[in-house]
Structure 1
């Protein structure tokens, strides 16, 4: 995930916006919840996005990116983010299906984002996830999400999906 953030400065001067990005991995067979495999701001975010593009991994524009970029790599996403991340990953799977079928994922991304209730940026498709890529093992679902404008004030409520332990309960630490 990625987004442009604007850190504050004490001298009042406006610093340049800083991009945030996070790459997620989720293998329902082994992972109790999606995990952050790479995250960072600025040049680290650019490197994550570059590697994803090189691997052909679709991107999602989301204001959630700065939140996920603060999750240490290897850690499961917070339970409060399960619902929104599930929507993003479902969107990524749909984009994968479109691209595998010969459809242009970038042409359909904004339509899919609207269908799933996600905003997409003007310069990026909505979508996240691809087989492998962006540092994830082959066969896993992973992808970067790049943030667009806007704010993300309140995480959606939620708990672990049925049959999956809550990663915050201490049973499924990385």
Structure 2
């Protein structure tokens, strides 16, 4: 089993789709899926995992998480919106994601670029924080469970913080 330090390094070395990776031209669905799969493949837990599917994208449009597609092509802004949805859905319920992304008054490219900047800062200090504060022998079943419980609880605190921010959005802004 890999040492905790190696696992931390691997997790925090993931690659992102940058705004410069997104073409200025509108893309067909298959091109959008290829962009996600080619660029984010290291994020897959197993090679068979799908990061994004046609059904997922169609459901996001149908549920109002991203703006409706005109014709068969996705605009650069819709792709940025989809990138925001992709990141948020890892943690939040789709109704919460919709409250954040299903809007016309957001500059998705700017928000996504800000996410990437924040991620770079987090990549600098979170691994070191984890190495210095988190203890446990991941080769021991008890140590592994203790560590996963602690990390899971940290994730719960952060999810609850996001949910509190979503809950503070006035109902008229959520489209309720």
TM > 0.5 between the two?
no
TM-score (norm 2): 0.24
Higher-RCO chain (CA-CA 8 Å, sequence separation at least 6): 1
Structure (1/2) with the larger strand percentage: 1
Structure (1/2) with the larger helix percentage: 2
- Larger-Rg structure: 2
